[in-house]
Structure 1
């Protein structure tokens, strides 16, 4: 029963707080579940949706009969969200039994993308056997807008007040560690090939967006890529991480260079089409070492062409015309190229920090013609010798080098010279 309070006239009056409390108690648990301010769903261990609340259905623009028993949780996600779920979310949930506050995008009503924060927990039996996965989905649209504004204000405040030298050194150390985490710790050993990389940081105060990698695909195939994301700082680092994971995952599914770059374009376009457009350039290829040579199949998306230093002392580019920037348009065109590396040949990939360096009193662009001439002037002594020469070139640019530069050189070693008096056979 509700309490009553006496007014000054002595007549009984029902307290408004008690009325509200009584009404709240009358709400059923099911009503609270269905009309909660967040989305709820329960799935079987294979991801099949077994239960979902009205709030989440309204966000999706679907009815219960379309979803329950017919769709999996990943069917609700965008392409980028699915890839992130497969490579990060699901493995972490399997290992720890609980994942909290993961940022994903769902396919909302009318074809819209909706940013959400997802928390999942595995329900187990008394014996510890996993039974189902309970998931909570929070609307993150306002939070994402708030974080963007907070980041803008933080940058403005940092620029206004500057940093003490000690703080700057600590920041540089942290940025250096983070930068290294976006690159392979070391390149793998490829039988019959030599691989060398180098990364030049133009400023220790900023995170760069250049990246590269080399990894096995199995069946005597090796994938490699090198690229550059737009911008610098934390957002560029996030884009770099997403790009590297996507390229690796796509290559495992279909290693054809055009297919890999097309998948990357789809992921980036879906992820960054709502206001904060982000894109990258990249060159991706597949190496197949053979007997005394290696075949190379590659494609480029808006990236400078690869350069080959031949054993005969010549140097020229591998043309990949028409390659478009990755992530801006929903559909793009890429061009593939095939070439061969023979003993003493070196394939060089680089980012535009090298060719866009400023030289001389007039601060003219260094350019691709100068790079080709420089490479042709170097003795064809393999990837390590070429990278060493380019490292010295970068150092010589001084303050004319204002962008990060990544280098990746792959080559077939030349045969060792035969000592005098020995039969070369």
Structure 2
């Protein structure tokens, strides 16, 4: 029951509960102002502080008597904060009547810099005249710490990104060096024979498994090979290295093409028998230069057939059907073939990255027929010209070429002299 005061005639006079509630509200409002979790102050229009709460005084480490009527709001700020207040904050407040959430620094207790967020509003009279400025000051130390931590995180991420890019550049350099170590630095000069090669890397970040070589066997004979190891990366590079050196060593022992590929098959099958099967396709052959021609004897292990462009402009594949992949089974059969390259003839060896490129709107395989047609459509001008033309073709595939491609062209220089202009006296 509510207690009430009564006048002498017994009638209720004042509701004591309402009075207590009103008193509580007044006490709470003052306490809320003084002990609020943020700073409050009111200033005259010239910035002189007329009222300030206990919270802000605590942050500043100042007594109320030293502040009220004696200091301006700008005096509470650091040098940088005061400069910003005079040049930006105060003019904006005067122009717009309100400034919200501006980051400033106040001179906190002990001379420490304290980051705050400041919101100020101009209070006007009923006639619209500015009377005073009410300002709220919010502690932004946690926010500043968060921002600094975020900045440190960004800097760390940026440094990690730069380091990763540097590491990637070094890795790519190392991969390029390793890739080059798997290929001959340059093709040897062979009397009566022209040779040219090209290697296209589909990805700078992955080692390819394509390989080729041309080297002497002694007694005027030469050997060549070109192939493609299954897979990419370090594992494929290891197989490529093993394959190249095995082929070279086997050829020096017995250069018969089928014997050489059989030796390679034995080495790969014995080396990779623990479930991590590694295999390759390869063509190996020997060259026997003669008087204006070169006899070729080659064998294929699951590799695309060599394409021969004749001096008359025709082009056909040298069939090697039935040649099996190298390294999969202990006992395999390889297909061999013979041909003679005469003056102006060129033999092209390639890996399937070329013929399996995707072209056109339907992303169809380029294919062996298109390759043959491309070669037929070009005048026979020797291995280097053919490799240059195919290099341009490969560049035109763009992202349709997603596999490494190795090219090796061997040919006999044309015996026909280059045509000379007819002297004017004979016309």
The corresponding residue for 1:382 is: 382
The corresponding residue for 2:337 is: 337
Q: What SS does structure 1 have at the residue aligned with 2:198?
A: strand
Could you say if the C-alpha distance between residues 341 and 271 of structure 1 is closer, same or farther in structure 2, counting changes exceeding 3 Å?
A: same
Could you say if the C-alpha distance between residues 162 and 247 of structure 1 is closer, same or farther in structure 2, counting changes exceeding 3 Å?
A: farther
**How far has the Cα of 1:219 moved from its partner?**
1.2
For residues 69-114 of structure 1, what are the alpha-carbon distances to aligned partners after superposition, in whole Å with 9 as ceiling and x for unaligned?
xxxxxxxxxxxxxxxxxxxxxxxxxxxxxxxxxxxxxxxxxxxxxx
**How far has the Cα of 1:168 moved from its partner?**
1.7
The corresponding residue for 1:190 is: 190
The corresponding residue for 2:413 is: 413
Distance 1:216 1:178 in 2: 24
Q: Where do residues 3-402 of structure 1 align in structure 2 (5 Å cutoff)?
A: 164-402=164-402
Q: What SS does structure 2 have at the residue aligned with 1:402?
A: coil
**How far has the Cα of 1:420 moved from its partner?**
6.8
Distance 1:417 1:397 in 2: 33
For residues 370-420 of structure 1, what are the alpha-carbon distances to aligned partners after superposition, in whole Å with 9 as ceiling and x for unaligned?
000001111100001000000000000000000000000000000223657
The corresponding residue for 2:86 is: none
**How far has the Cα of 1:167 moved from its partner?**
2.1
Q: Note the residue ranges of structure 1 that are not aligned, 5 or more in a row.
A: 1-160
Q: After TM superposition, what 4+ stretches of structure 1 lie above 4 angstroms from structure 2?
A: 418-422
Q: What SS does structure 2 have at the residue aligned with 1:355?
A: coil
For residues 146-194 of structure 1, what are the alpha-carbon distances to aligned partners after superposition, in whole Å with 9 as ceiling and x for unaligned?
xxxxxxxxxxxxxxx9983222222111111110000000000010000
Distance 2:332 2:237 in 1: 24
Distance 1:420 1:371 in 2: 34
Q: What SS does structure 2 have at the residue aligned with 1:393?
A: helix
Distance 1:418 1:301 in 2: 42
Distance 1:399 1:163 in 2: 28
Distance 2:241 2:280 in 1: 12
The corresponding residue for 1:98 is: none
Could you say if the C-alpha distance between residues 162 and 274 of structure 1 is closer, same or farther in structure 2, counting changes exceeding 3 Å?
A: farther
The corresponding residue for 1:9 is: none
Aligned length: 262
Q: What SS does structure 2 have at the residue aligned with 1:307?
A: strand
Distance 2:323 2:162 in 1: 41
Distance 1:163 1:351 in 2: 36
Could you say if the C-alpha distance between residues 296 and 163 of structure 1 is closer, same or farther in structure 2, counting changes exceeding 3 Å?
A: farther
**How far has the Cα of 1:335 moved from its partner?**
1.2
Q: Note the residue ranges of structure 2 that are not aligned, 5 or more in a row.
A: 1-160
The corresponding residue for 1:57 is: none
Distance 1:214 1:162 in 2: 41
For residues 208-247 of structure 1, what are the alpha-carbon distances to aligned partners after superposition, in whole Å with 9 as ceiling and x for unaligned?
0000000000111100000000111111111000000000
TM-score normalised by structure 2 residue count = 0.60
Distance 1:338 1:332 in 2: 20
Alpha-carbon RMSD across the aligned residues, in angstroms, is: 1.7
TM-score normalised by structure 1 residue count = 0.60
Distance 1:420 1:352 in 2: 42
Distance 1:162 1:292 in 2: 58
Distance 2:329 2:162 in 1: 38
Distance 1:391 1:275 in 2: 38
Distance 2:189 2:280 in 1: 28
Q: What SS does structure 2 have at the residue aligned with 1:379?
A: coil
For residues 256-279 of structure 1, what are the alpha-carbon distances to aligned partners after superposition, in whole Å with 9 as ceiling and x for unaligned?
100000000000000001111000
Whose radius of gyration is greater, 1 or 2?
Answer: 2
